[in-house]
């Protein structure tokens, strides 16, 4: 969802899952860093980028996202410390959904909150109901303004919950009770926002029907696009490692090209 708000097409967002090595979208065009699989490494990138933009005299504010599990990584603490020391204009948004895969928050930290970790580094820190879109927009607007005004980084801890298992290889019933999930289902942010907009007469049945139809059309188009077989070029493995390829890379590239040529000749026969 965060990537979608940057205007990145859905098929490009899912490109990495389809095997696109370059993350699926153009980071420069969308001013959005590549998706990061290793936990918390993106936070260091964000702190460095924010500091570089500050040195250039630009008003850029960098938003870095991570989960509660990432706060247990050393990179998280290094990023916060660097950002605080160098007064980098970066907002760290921590999505606290209660579990780092199967490890509950109580087994990750004894701090009163994850926001307290920011306080420990001298960073302005806030907590917010992550299931309240209006509250989220309000607190993040304030955080961006605070950082842009030269006050240094901000850490925002958004409290939410992971309703499903971590992945389809995970069985969440092994480490949490179903009653806990049912309790959080009642706090579904989409249902809450729908109730609010209905009460304020901002939406009606016709609007919802139109929205659902548009969503189905977009989903069908996305499924079709993701099922298109992507062309692959094995030589790209060597093309962007260094600006000037090393002798070893040239040798490896030549070996691959020779193997591809041999396979092509075999197919032609």
Task: Give the active site residues.
Answer: 162, 166, 175
Tell me the torsion sign for CA atoms 34, 39, 45, 46: positive
Q: 180 to each of 94, 98, 191, how far by Cα in Å?
A: 21, 11, 18
DSSP state of 269: -
Nearest to 175 by CA among 103, 100, 68, 98: 103
Tell me the torsion sign for CA atoms 51, 55, 61, 62: negative
Q: How many angstroms from the chain centroid is the CA of residue 40?
A: 11
Nearest to 7 by CA among 39, 23, 31, 42: 31
Tell me the torsion sign for CA atoms 143, 147, 151, 154: positive
Backbone angles phi, psi at 221, to 5 degrees: -65, -40
């Amino acid at each position: 969802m965060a990537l979608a708000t940057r205007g990145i097409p859905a098929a490009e967002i899912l490109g990495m899952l389809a095997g696109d090595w370059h993350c699926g979208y153009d980071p420069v065009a969308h001013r959005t860093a590549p998706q990061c699989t290793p936990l918390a490494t993106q936070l260091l990138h964000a702190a460095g980028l924010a500091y570089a933009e500050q040195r250039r005299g630009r008003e850029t504010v960098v938003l870095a996202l991570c989960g509660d599990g990432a706060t247990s990584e050393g990179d998280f603490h290094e990023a916060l410390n660097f950002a605080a020391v160098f007064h980098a204009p970066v907002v760290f948004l921590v999505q606290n959904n209660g579990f780092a895969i199967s490890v509950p928050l109580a087994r990750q930290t004894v701090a009163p909150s994850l926001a307290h970790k920011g306080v420990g580094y001298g960073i302005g820190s806030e907590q917010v109901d992550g299931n309240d879109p209006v509250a989220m927009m309000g607190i993040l607007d304030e955080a961006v303004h605070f950082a842009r005004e030269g006050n240094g980084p901000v850490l925002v801890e958004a409290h939410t919950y992971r309703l499903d298992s971590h992945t389809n290889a995970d069985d969440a019933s092994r480490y949490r009770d179903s009653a806990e999930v049912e309790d959080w289902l009642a706090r579904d942010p989409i249902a809450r926002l729908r109730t609010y907009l209905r009460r304020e007469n901002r939406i009606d049945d016709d609007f919802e029907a139109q929205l659902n139809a548009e969503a189905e059309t977009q989903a069908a188009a996305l499924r079709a696009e993701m099922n298109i077989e992507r062309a692959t070029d094995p030589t790209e493995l060597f093309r962007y490692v260094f600006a000037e390829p090393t002798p070893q890379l040239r040798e490896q590239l030549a070996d691959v090209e020779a193997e591809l040529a041999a396979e092509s000749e075999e197919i032609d026969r």
